Structure 1
Amino acid sequence: MPYSPLLVRPLKEELTKVGFRDLQTAAEVDAAMKEAASGLTLVVVNAADGEAARVARPAARKIVENASPRFDLLLTVFAGHDEEATAQMLVGYTDDILKEGPAFAVFKDGELLYAMPRYYMSDRSAEWAVTEVTERLQKALG
């Protein structure tokens, strides 16, 4: 059973207020990922748990504020609430590398460059996640 919209609304807003597009259906995921066929895209798999609150959402906001180069597209799905969209993103676009939220995925011209699964965030800080995503992005882009 999905989480209540009353619970997830403020958790989603933490990302949408800094520019992330909230995807709620598989069709929305597919349409957004067609847009991601050109440029740099950051996907956050949001969730209602400690890692999301402590690491993923704060890190996502800092990445957006400080990223160089800037992301062309910011997308988010919510694990445990928008189940169809989450499944489509995880299975359809991350080659099932990511199994659950919270998680990050970075795409360049539609190709997956980097994926940070939930277990990478355990016992880590938001600052660590920002550094990890930023350094991996810089390395991948050369």
Structure 2
Amino acid sequence: MYPADIVIPMKEQLTFNGFEDLTTSELVDEAIKKSGTTLVMVNSVCGCAAGAARPGVLMSLSGEKVPTNLTTVFAGFDLDAVKRVREHLLPFPPSSPAVALFKDGELVHMLERHHIEGHSAQAIAENLMDAYEEFV
């Protein structure tokens, strides 16, 4: 498990921008069951989370259509919450970072690590904005 002093600033990059920090499996289930669309960012300490995933997710919120609910869990820190999110993401294998979009509790769009690593924040934002246009 990662130390809090490393994780908290990375969490705050999202929570200071309106993301709900899901720290338990119960909070995950409640968030995903909400009506409308719910974006779940599986945050991570890796460089692709810092350089592309978090900035791309935040950029994606600049358009006209945005998810109803913004949430995040942190791999290697929020262990129960991440485990529950990954159950909701099946059949996709565990991935961090990852970004998932749910609509009325159903997974409708998924970005796995291999969609993030090596891609720019702008490319990630555009991918997510396309999903918002389709599902929000």
TM-score (norm 2): 0.93
1:43 pairs with 2:37: no
- The answer for the alignment partner of 2:107 in structure 1 is 112
Q: Percent identity?
A: 36
Displacement of 1:98 after TM fit?
4.6
CA contact (8 A) 1:114 1:137 kept: no
Output the aligned Cα RMSD. 1.5
Give 5+ residue unaligned stretches, structure 1.
none
Number of matched pairs: 136
Give 5+ residue unaligned stretches, structure 2.
none
Secondary structure of 2:50's counterpart equals helix
Q: Bigger shift: 113-122 or 94-103?
A: 94-103
Aligned mates of 2:14, 2:93 — CA distance in 1: 19
Displacement of 1:33 after TM fit?
1.8
Deviations 1:17-57 (A, max 9, x none): 0100001111111122222xx11111100000111001111
TM-score (norm 1): 0.89
Secondary structure of 1:115's counterpart equals strand
CA contact (8 A) 1:26 1:84 kept: yes
1:20 pairs with 2:19: yes
2:68 to 66, 69, 72: 72
Give the number of the structure with larger relative contact order, counting CA–CA contacts within 8 Å between residues 6 or more apart: 2
Change (3 A) 1:42 1:70: same
Displacement of 1:107 after TM fit?
1.1
Structure 1 stretches of 4+ with a deviation exceeding 3 A read none
Displacement of 1:96 after TM fit?
3.8
